[in-house]
Structure 1
């Protein structure tokens, strides 16, 4: 067995010293004639299905914004965390049909990971990395070290600690994951996959520990790469100071797998991915398509995206840069598969950065390796003809169609291939705004439930975000937080002004101009509502007219809390694009829900006060899930129904009866049209507004009908219960008067 293992090790070492492929002029002699034309066709098809330059860069920018957003959120909530999005979504190396998960790593900064005793820090939670008796590279144990002296902990005082046979107190990776499960349990159903403990579908969430000290395995990789054409020297310099992470994952064959932590150089891998040119990105995406469809039929889901990524790293390092051109895409795919064939023959996939790791361990059995080897050999010999059978995003059909000179109107996609990337762009913006709303409101709700006054709390958070914005490249994210927090601060002051008759009203109204850019409608509607509540009806009408001009038919509502089936359907975003395929809007075509917290009550129409106290008993409050607890003490309504309702109230106050009735009819028509349901997140509250219009008109039967429709959505925690009782009282009083 030892001789066999030595032979395998020699083969792997031989792989690491493979010469680069010949220069492009020499390599061209090995490429079939039709490969160049097919490469261009494949590249164009990938552009059309979401792997073009603009879409790749937009994905990266979006997910960098999202990780900045999540980090600021926890900073404002008093948590010392850094969020990182890794994987296909943040790299831009995916297309819709791959259904790639969202990978997020939560770096717990309150822990000091020691590689040597000299790294100990007083007052910190110190953990010493141990590797001595572990036979697996990349795996470590963590020993608990005292906070106030550089000595090992000798008693178990932490539920996450266990005692090793030698007497050492270890920080258990398994118990760390159990703690994650407890933290996330109220947010949703828990799913576990390797080091990930997640409460959200299609999300991999890993709580990890940062290693900010140099690691010898990383330095060995850097030394190996110095002087090569790739990775570039600047990347290697950055890799020397980039932190690695310890993720809670033991080796499947280890005696300590419940205590072990795995070193993961995620940031270095992301830097490597960000250095790819577009041909390399497309080559990687096609490898994942092959993995997802063709390989899955052979061996199931045992081949991973990370193995494909590793294949790309080695291929780029050993291939001359001049070959990575669009017209060589098919040839390069063959080269990658040839490397994979070599690995399957020796039974090992080496980790690109950390030596001695076999990525087949615990993933692919020997039988599956042999089966896959036969198929990879078949693919290479048949010049990848099976690409035409890949059905993800109709890749195979599109390849065949693009090879015909006269194909007429494309059958894939209602708006043609040109609009496909635009749909992805709108979806990315929608999801980013959705996450922003959740982040912002979690910060606000925490402050509303604290002992400090709302204005003091918001002022403190504004200062915190402002300081953060000085130290981050993505300044647009903290500025978005500042705009929204400032708008809330201003609105709370206005509500107090109305309650107390404070003459500072006009100055506060002028401050609204700094927050009108938060989205296309909600901030303006809050201004119109405030003006109406203060009795400035003509000014309120001017603002509503401005909203009407901006709120075109392509606007998509964004909520963040209520889930709407189908609101991510590609057709929804295709319909936001004009018939000419032009989605260049003067401002982002999204409208947030209009939210009033209780401290803003005097800026909201009285009917919405009931939603701020929608429960009738404490038992109802106990029924709320995690998300409902975040918004059910506020009044929230979709922007467009609220617009019509404000029109109804304002025209009524101005004595414009025909326009008032028209606004009411438009509100009823909007709520009753099934086509608008995709943009209605707070159906119950919108129905309350319509019911109140009928109530004002004296049509109590109509009011009862729409309050009853609201109760079909929620029979508890619904202000409609209050409205029904109120209308019943009014009717009883009227009957008494008539009698």
Structure 2
């Protein structure tokens, strides 16, 4: 690596950016930086050194991507020093193989135009600017486009701040029992209500309270409902009232908490109505998922979202943001069994690997809104014997888990999907979901238990058949 010239290094960096932007988010992160490095070494060995000059960077990059595509087709990336060591052995599923080949083919046919879409380090924007400066010394963005870009980023920053502060407030009460959590959440809501009334009409603080209060209302409603379900197997008017206040926290999370509680209490018809309402509001072209449970890479927002942000204010969060859905342990009776495993994902050994300041959410059940929507649809349509709708929900769960770029809890979505596959008696597919989940997060992952449970069940079935 130290002997590479600047063009070869740039080629390697661009390959990594392409993996990060176009391939790994859609293909379970199966390709690695080391594979890019290996491809580069093979290309350098098999081409003349005079080719690796600044003016030929794009051609060199296309050469590397073509070799990478060929390696994926053969499912064989020979280690540069030890050729018999295949770096891709057992790593690429048939689905991911076809997807990667297709993505690389589109990039190759586009002759580098895909670079203009790379958000990392604003590469795409900087390339556009440089190209346009060569023509007319003007930026490629119009004033309205610049305004839309700034508005979109401000809205995302605001949504992130709301999600992060909701997490911090829940952190303060996570170890208390149901009654104490109920009391503290009620105190929070009273405090926020009093603050809101005392603030000026257009103050920023008032906007902050207006955005945060619905999330806390949904949490309070769920805490009360969980206690109701445990004691009377019903949901009280008080809980439903708080759920109602929290419905418009964003596109989906408040309604999903209500639907989840209704599902757990057996009110299937009302739960289905709530889910139908969410589906109508959740525009896949404009809604952006946001999760600040931990710091993770977020891809550039979709074009439809940026277009929606061209006008408006923080109220757009209600229509264009989908927060992750968070359940404390004292809300367990509002959580389907399949998601409850996430509350107990950590062994004592796993806890040693956690960050004590930021990983407290791992004691909760947390799911991204879109896959959780499809999971609940799968359960509810099954209970209603609407088998075609149930299979459609399962297909949507597969698609969202594989293709939605900005999921914060993809491993949880895969765990839910795996359990749906078990219910379909598709045990190999279930095991694959759990293994991909572990590839994303090896520790503090309920998949470790789910795999053991799956294998134990299969062994028992086999023994029963033999007997």
Find 2:353's aligned residue among 605, 623, 631: 623
Find 1:613's aligned residue among 344, 350, 354: 344
Report the equivalent of 1:601: 332
Contact persistence 2:220–2:239 (CA under 8 A): no
- How far did 1:706 drift? 0.3
Contact persistence 2:257–2:325 (CA under 8 A): yes
The separation in 2 between residues aligned to 1:487 and 1:539, in whole angstroms, is 17
- How far did 1:437 drift? 1.4
Matched, 1:565 2:294: no
Find 1:727's aligned residue among 450, 454, 459: 454
- How far did 1:458 drift? 1.4
Find 1:419's aligned residue among 116, 131, 145: 145
Matched, 1:697 2:427: no
- How far did 1:595 drift? 0.9
The separation in 1 between residues aligned to 2:144 and 2:367, in whole angstroms, is 35
Unaligned 5+ residue runs, structure 1? Answer: 1-390, 403-409
5 Å matches for 1:527-566?
A: 527-552=258-283, 553-566=285-298
* Structure 1 residues 464 and 566: CA distance shift in structure 2, 3 A: closer
The separation in 2 between residues aligned to 1:601 and 1:433, in whole angstroms, is 26
- How far did 1:627 drift? 5.7
Q: Secondary structure at the match of 1:448?
A: coil
* Structure 1 residues 702 and 636: CA distance shift in structure 2, 3 A: same
Report the equivalent of 1:672: 402
Q: Secondary structure at the match of 1:636?
A: strand
Contact persistence 1:651–1:657 (CA under 8 A): yes
- The Cα offsets for residues 310-352 of structure 1, whole Å up to 9 and x where unpaired, read as xxxxxxxxxxxxxxxxxxxxxxxxxxxxxxxxxxxxxxxxxxx
The structure with more radius of gyration: 1
Bigger fraction of residues in helix: 2
- How far did 1:508 drift? 2.5
* Structure 1 residues 530 and 685: CA distance shift in structure 2, 3 A: same
* Structure 1 residues 502 and 735: CA distance shift in structure 2, 3 A: closer
Matched, 1:641 2:371: yes
Report the equivalent of 1:706: 433
Q: Secondary structure at the match of 1:440?
A: helix
Q: Which structure carries more relative contact order (alpha carbon 8 Å, separation 6+)?
A: 2
Q: Secondary structure at the match of 2:228?
A: helix
5 Å matches for 1:224-239?
A: none
The separation in 1 between residues aligned to 2:233 and 2:400, in whole angstroms, is 38
Contact persistence 1:427–1:573 (CA under 8 A): no
Matched, 1:522 2:249: no
Contact persistence 1:645–1:663 (CA under 8 A): yes
Report the equivalent of 1:467: 194
5 Å matches for 1:159-308?
A: none
Runs ≥4 residues deviating over 4 A: 391-402, 580-587
Contact persistence 1:576–1:583 (CA under 8 A): no
Contact persistence 2:343–2:365 (CA under 8 A): yes
* Structure 1 residues 586 and 732: CA distance shift in structure 2, 3 A: closer
Q: CA RMSD in A?
A: 2.8
* Structure 1 residues 582 and 534: CA distance shift in structure 2, 3 A: same
- How far did 1:423 drift? 1.8
* Structure 1 residues 494 and 672: CA distance shift in structure 2, 3 A: same
- The Cα offsets for residues 211-230 of structure 1, whole Å up to 9 and x where unpaired, read as xxxxxxxxxxxxxxxxxxxx
- The Cα offsets for residues 113-141 of structure 1, whole Å up to 9 and x where unpaired, read as xxxxxxxxxxxxxxxxxxxxxxxxxxxxx
Q: How many residues align?
A: 332
The separation in 2 between residues aligned to 1:654 and 1:503, in whole angstroms, is 20
Report the equivalent of 1:513: 244
- How far did 1:536 drift? 1.1
The separation in 2 between residues aligned to 1:514 and 1:467, in whole angstroms, is 16
The separation in 1 between residues aligned to 2:192 and 2:282, in whole angstroms, is 31
The separation in 2 between residues aligned to 1:505 and 1:608, in whole angstroms, is 23
* Structure 1 residues 466 and 696: CA distance shift in structure 2, 3 A: same
Contact persistence 2:374–2:396 (CA under 8 A): yes
- The Cα offsets for residues 227-248 of structure 1, whole Å up to 9 and x where unpaired, read as xxxxxxxxxxxxxxxxxxxxxx
Bigger fraction of residues in strand: 1
* Structure 1 residues 504 and 671: CA distance shift in structure 2, 3 A: closer
The separation in 1 between residues aligned to 2:191 and 2:311, in whole angstroms, is 36
Contact persistence 1:683–1:710 (CA under 8 A): yes
The separation in 1 between residues aligned to 2:238 and 2:291, in whole angstroms, is 30
Contact persistence 2:251–2:281 (CA under 8 A): yes
Contact persistence 1:648–1:664 (CA under 8 A): yes
* Structure 1 residues 573 and 399: CA distance shift in structure 2, 3 A: farther
Find 2:445's aligned residue among 712, 718, 734: 718
Contact persistence 1:563–1:681 (CA under 8 A): no
Matched, 1:651 2:381: yes
Contact persistence 2:249–2:318 (CA under 8 A): no
The separation in 1 between residues aligned to 2:384 and 2:351, in whole angstroms, is 40
- How far did 1:592 drift? 0.1
The separation in 2 between residues aligned to 1:537 and 1:581, in whole angstroms, is 36
The separation in 1 between residues aligned to 2:133 and 2:379, in whole angstroms, is 54
Q: Secondary structure at the match of 1:518?
A: coil
The separation in 2 between residues aligned to 1:434 and 1:586, in whole angstroms, is 11
Contact persistence 2:160–2:290 (CA under 8 A): yes
- How far did 1:619 drift? 2.3
* Structure 1 residues 439 and 603: CA distance shift in structure 2, 3 A: same
5 Å matches for 1:118-197?
A: none
5 Å matches for 1:479-490?
A: 479-490=210-221
The separation in 1 between residues aligned to 2:357 and 2:303, in whole angstroms, is 29
* Structure 1 residues 463 and 660: CA distance shift in structure 2, 3 A: same
Contact persistence 1:419–1:581 (CA under 8 A): no
Contact persistence 2:375–2:393 (CA under 8 A): yes
Unaligned 5+ residue runs, structure 2? Answer: 1-125
The separation in 1 between residues aligned to 2:367 and 2:228, in whole angstroms, is 24
- How far did 1:563 drift? 3.2
* Structure 1 residues 577 and 437: CA distance shift in structure 2, 3 A: closer
The separation in 2 between residues aligned to 1:471 and 1:397, in whole angstroms, is 51
